[in-house]
Structure 1
Amino acid sequence: MATLSTLANGFTTLMVTIDPPGLIPLFIGLTAGMNRLQRRQVAFRASVISFLLLVVFAVFGEKVLNALGISMSAFRIAGGILLFWIGVEMIFEKRQERKEKVSEVAITQDHIANIAVFPLAMPLIAGPGSISATILLGSRMHGFVANMQLIVVLLIAAVITFASLLLAGLIDRALGQTGRNILTRILGMVLTALAVQFVIDGIVTAFGLHLVQG
């Protein structure tokens, strides 16, 4: 059974990497011209598909890495560096620009009925950051109960993401550009701190070190 702190850490990491506030303006742009029912269908489908993708990575991610000969220590370090980079992008407003480019390409190359799969479900919701975070979290869960707890955390994150997309227009007006910028920077700082911790954990595990906490 996973500890409450591990689950809380995992939930925070997931929410920061998924970044529901950052998805809102992209969702509004991607669903322009749709009515409320169509937007709800797109939001629901994207949330369900991304949830299922993350569950697969949570359950089988470590097994795939083992099959490839990649240790969890190495993946913790690599994943931590990736999450740190994403956090820095959020602080300096680079991640949103990259996401907007992805969404623009998708509109021109794919049919609007498929935007729930691409780019919403993947890579905007279940992207490299959230997938890496999910595999790292899955590596800490041992046993059926712990895995079930992680799946519940993923489900809660998916429900919050779905609710954010449903309330996209209202939240966008409430936050405004300034509010979104401030929130994104705060979340970026949190993510960089969590990423550093992942790297430290990977180094400690890889070299068999023992840290003394003061």
Structure 2
Amino acid sequence: MSAVIDTLLLTEVFVTLFVIMDPIGTIPIFLSLTSGRSAATARKYAWQAVAVSFLVIAIFAFFGQQILGYLDISLPALQCAGGLLLLLVALELLTDQEKEPTASVGSNVALVPLGTPLLAGPGAIVATMVFSRQVHSGPEFLAVGLGVVAVHVCLWAAMRFSLPILRLIREGGVLLVTRISGLLLSAIAVQLVADAVRAFIAGEG
């Protein structure tokens, strides 16, 4: 272990959260949710979504067990709720409903569903809470913190540079991406709910 930072833990945190939060996989969903909005608005949504995700992850890293315990909420319940919310978003993408009045009202998709539960979802929250339990010294705290920050930088870069893709594929491509994103999101949502149900059956809820 280094005297300054635990590089092994840093690598483990980064790789685990990178796989769970999937910066590359967020690109088509980000394009779908920001289609029809200006480039400046999309750029703003990119950093806002990352900021919201980082805030949620940080809060649960420090106070996750206390929050869930105080509210008497189990991790499977949190996972099931996130899955159901993502399922609603997926149905909107598949049926075009999200492009109707919500855009004119000025809904900020950076908060929900991008920031949470898509980026800071149950999987990322649980993983961060597990890693936070391993922090017993300064180098370990720095490793977990830098790992979380590095993953969020990757998330921002993926969404920020998805804008040239949007200009390239145009409206027809956006429609195709929207449908694919809705299908992928629905699969993710069903998997989250299924995992939560298995946890309940196993007596973990």
TM-score over 0.5 for the pair: yes
Structure 1 counterpart of 2:29: 19
Aligned-CA RMSD value? 3.9
Deviation at 1:157, TM superposition (A): 1.5
How far apart, CA to CA, are the structure 1 residues paired with 2:160 and 2:186? 21
* Secondary structure of residue in 2 paired with 1:181: helix
Deviation at 1:161, TM superposition (A): 1.3
* Secondary structure of residue in 2 paired with 1:119: coil
Q: Between the two proteins, what is the percent identity of the paired residues?
A: 12
1:136-177 alpha-carbon deviations (Å, 9 max, x no partner): 342132333233223222221121111223532323446252
How far apart, CA to CA, are the structure 2 residues paired with 1:97 and 1:7? 31
Structure 1 counterpart of 2:126, from 126, 136, 146? 136
Structure 2 counterpart of 1:105: 105
TM-score, normalised via structure 2 length: 0.65
Deviation at 1:189, TM superposition (A): 1.0
Letter of the 1:182 partner, please give it.
I
How far apart, CA to CA, are the structure 1 residues paired with 2:146 and 2:188? 26
Uncovered stretches (5+) of structure 2, i.e. residues with no partner: 1-8, 136-140
* Secondary structure of residue in 1 paired with 2:69: coil
How far apart, CA to CA, are the structure 2 residues paired with 1:171 and 1:101? 24
Structure 2 counterpart of 1:211: none
Uncovered stretches (5+) of structure 1, i.e. residues with no partner: 32-38, 107-117, 208-214
Tell me if structure 2 keeps the 8 A contact 1:73–1:203: no
Structure 1 counterpart of 2:114: 125
Alignment of 1:151 with 2:161, yes or no, is no
How far apart, CA to CA, are the structure 2 residues paired with 1:13 and 1:136? 18
Deviation at 1:22, TM superposition (A): 2.0
Letter of the 1:44 partner, please give it.
R
Deviation at 1:90, TM superposition (A): 5.1
How far apart, CA to CA, are the structure 2 residues paired with 1:70 and 1:43? 37
Tell me if structure 2 keeps the 8 A contact 1:87–1:191: yes
Letter of the 1:175 partner, please give it.
G
Change over 3 Å in CA distance of 1:190–1:69 after alignment to 2: closer
Tell me if structure 1 keeps the 8 A contact 2:13–2:131: no
1:65-107 alpha-carbon deviations (Å, 9 max, x no partner): 444453799352233212321443355446762475432212x
Deviation at 1:21, TM superposition (A): 3.2
Tell me if structure 1 keeps the 8 A contact 2:14–2:150: no
Letter of the 1:188 partner, please give it.
S
Change over 3 Å in CA distance of 1:204–1:97 after alignment to 2: same
Structure 1 counterpart of 2:76: 77
Letter of the 2:50 partner, please give it.
F
Alignment of 1:52 with 2:45, yes or no, is no
Deviation at 1:181, TM superposition (A): 0.9
Alignment of 1:188 with 2:186, yes or no, is yes
Letter of the 1:158 partner, please give it.
W
Change over 3 Å in CA distance of 1:205–1:123 after alignment to 2: same
